[in-house]
Amino acid sequence: MKIKFLNSNRQPQNFDTKLITIGREDDNHLQLLSDGISRHHGKIYCDSGNNWYIEDLGSTNGIKLNGKKINKPTLLAENDILDFHQEKIQLCEFNEYQTVLEFNASDIAKISAADVIEPNSDSISIDPVIIAPASPLESPAPQQENKENELEKLAEFIHQNTNNLFSTNKKQQKNTEEPKTSQPAKKSKFSNKLFYVVLVCAIVVVGAFLIKILEDKNAPLSTQKNATVTKDYPLYLTYIKENLTPGNVFRFKLVIENNEASFSVDDLRSQLRYGPIVKSISNTELIKLKQTIKDSQFMKLAPVSDGITKSDEREFKELIIHYGPQNNHITLKNRPAPREFLDVEEAINIFAESCNMATFSLSPEELREQALANFRLAEDKFANYETNLSYLKDAIHGYNIVIEYLSGISPEPKIRREAAEKMKRAEELRKRFIKQYSSQYKIMLRKEDLDGAKNALEILLQLYDVNTKEYLNTKRYLIKVDTISKKLNSRK
């Protein structure tokens, strides 16, 4: 079967098997890496009657055949078009790999030379067969006689030169050869010496070549042993900032764990209190934050003594970082932060700003600007949740921030009402998907389809908030299913 890719520049692929699995994992026969493709999305297979079918393996976004979604194994025809969410493929040449030629002994006996060799063929030449003379009176052809004489001379020449090169018995050599003059003996000695010189040189060259190969093989090994292996560790970070002034009480808290960021804010002046709100961290942002911690000297920073406490003002900062084998806990009370502390704090402020979260007290106008930025981000996530179900969770958190930012403003802004309506719709969708994939997980377990069960659990993890009871239970189930799957595969 040949598969053509209609909406990409990918070259057509030929398959000579009767089963073609399709998905984003590399263990599939056909790997598709577009958004919305499940780990094991579907399969194309051929039954005993040479009929081809397409079947959905419980994928998230399903499969469409010629524009219609399928719910069961469906018969395929030549030039059918399959739609795997954003990837469209066309099937053709079904019978190209199904014909097998077999020859029986009776069929081989019927094949003649004319069937194998084309007449008047210039590419194949057949040596003529020499037939012996019918009687002693007939003599061989002159051409044949000349060939036999040449062969005899060639055999005699090879025999003489072989004796000269490899004979070690000088007496035997003198008896077999006729000593006409002294010059041939000198030539024989020279030939022997030349042979041994060439042999020794060849041995030296081969030995040097082998030594060079061994050095080249050992070089990467020694380099590899001396090289330092850099390991990427998970990051745990807690940052707390509190400011007490005559006009306001402000508290900001950020916790980073398991590639998720949790924000909490209390701002008395703005009548703002929200959190914890959890957001996913992109790999790029996490790498930047880790690199800043590596480059800074925060892990080597010693504890700092308290500053002078004023009755009407108080400033408190706390930073806890666990990164690999290193950790540190620094608390600052009413005193300037050291340079090592400021380097990490500046990176935290930039990271919070990229998440539209402020680490300082906001005025009403600043609250409106932050709310509008979060509303636009939530709208984008909600509009594209079909490509990634985790966007539903991000949209709900974004709408919640808008509601919290604008809760103390009167009259109530229109954008706050819109955010409340959109958040309600997103919550309903999330609950529906949680129910759907929880049911799918149980069905896959009853069918003993561990891959399908793992796929359902992975989607559920995208829908639950991190560190909730549902999230932790789902993660525990996923580890159990994955462990059992690996044990079964190792026994095969």
* CA–CA distance, 286 with 11 (Å, rounded to integer): 36
Look at the alpha carbons of 83, 88, 91, 92 in this order and tell me if their dihedral is positive or negative: positive
User: Is the pTM above the cut of 0.75?
Assistant: no
Return all residues near 117 (Cβ < 8 A) that are at least 6 apart. 124, 126
Q: What CATH number did the domain enclosing 84 receive?
A: 2.60.200.20
Measuring CA to CA, which residue among 463, 411, 415, 417 is closest to residue 437?
463
Using the 3D structure, point to which of 92, 116, 151 is the last residue of a domain.
92
Q: Is residue 317 part of a domain?
A: yes
- Radius of gyration of the chain measured on its C-alpha atoms: 41
Does one domain contain both 274 and 357? yes
* CA–CA distance, 116 with 63 (Å, rounded to integer): 50
**Region label for 62, one of left (φ > 0), alpha (ψ between -120 and 50) or beta (otherwise):** left
Q: Is residue 111 part of a domain?
A: no
Task: Quote the pLDDT of residue 301.
Answer: 92
* CA–CA distance, 213 with 230 (Å, rounded to integer): 30
DSSP 234-288: PEEEEEEEEEEETTEEEEEEEEEETTEEEEEEEETTTTEEEEEEEEE--HHHHHH
Contact status, residue 16 vs residue 97, Cβ threshold 8 Å:
yes
Alpha carbon 177 to its chain centroid, in Å, reads 75
Task: Quote the pLDDT of residue 285.
Answer: 87
Task: Quote the pLDDT of residue 217.
Answer: 56
Give me the domain span that covers residue 28. 2-92
Containing 20, the helix (H) or strand (E) segment is strand 19-23
Token pair belonging to 360: 């300082």
Q: Is residue 225 part of a domain?
A: no
Using the 3D structure, point to which of 43, 69, 92 is the last residue of a domain.
92
User: Is the preceding peptide bond at 179 cis, omega within 30 degrees of 0?
Assistant: no
* CA–CA distance, 116 with 277 (Å, rounded to integer): 79
Task: Quote the pLDDT of residue 146.
Answer: 55
Does one domain contain both 241 and 358? yes
> Can you give the length of the chain in residues?
492
Q: Is residue 296 part of a domain?
A: yes
* CA–CA distance, 343 with 294 (Å, rounded to integer): 11
Coil, helix or strand for 2? Answer: strand
Q: What CATH number did the domain enclosing 251 receive?
A: 3.30.1560.10
Q: Is residue 109 part of a domain?
A: no
Does one domain contain both 339 and 445? no
**Which letter does DSSP use for residue 186 in this model?**
H
Helices 390-405 and 414-446 pack at an angle, to 10 degrees, of 150
Task: Quote the pLDDT of residue 272.
Answer: 75
* CA–CA distance, 373 with 150 (Å, rounded to integer): 99
Q: Is residue 172 part of a domain?
A: no
Q: β-pairing, 30-31 with 19-23?
A: parallel
Task: Quote the pLDDT of residue 324.
Answer: 84
Task: Quote the pLDDT of residue 460.
Answer: 93
* CA–CA distance, 277 with 264 (Å, rounded to integer): 7
* CA–CA distance, 434 with 262 (Å, rounded to integer): 22
Helices 450-463 and 414-446 pack at an angle, to 10 degrees, of 160
In sequence order, which ranges of 24-167 are alpha helices (DSSP H)? 105-110, 113-116, 142-166
**Which residue ranges in the chain fall short of pLDDT 50?**
96-141, 147, 158-159, 161-182, 185, 220-229
Compute the 3-state secondary structure of the chain and give helix, strand, coil in percent, each to the nearest 5. Answer: 45, 20, 35
Containing 402, the helix (H) or strand (E) segment is helix 390-405
Measuring CA to CA, which residue among 422, 482, 424 is closest to residue 454?
482
Beta-strand (E) ranges in 67-125?
68-69, 74-75, 81-84, 87-92
Task: Quote the pLDDT of residue 120.
Answer: 39
Q: Is residue 455 part of a domain?
A: yes
Coil, helix or strand for 172? Answer: helix
Coil, helix or strand for 328? Answer: strand
Contact status, residue 99 vs residue 90, Cβ threshold 8 Å:
no
Letter for the amino acid at 281?
A: I
Token pair belonging to 207: 């030995």
pLDDT tens-digit series, residues 106-126: 333 333 333 333 333 343 333
Contact status, residue 14 vs residue 2, Cβ threshold 8 Å:
yes
Number of separate domains in the chain: 3
Q: Is residue 261 part of a domain?
A: yes
Using the 3D structure, point to which of 62, 92, 122 is the last residue of a domain.
92
Alpha carbon 480 to its chain centroid, in Å, reads 23
In the chain, how long is the greatest CA-to-CA distance? 141
* CA–CA distance, 478 with 480 (Å, rounded to integer): 5
Residue 328, strand partner residues: 321
Does one domain contain both 348 and 243? yes
Does one domain contain both 456 and 346? no
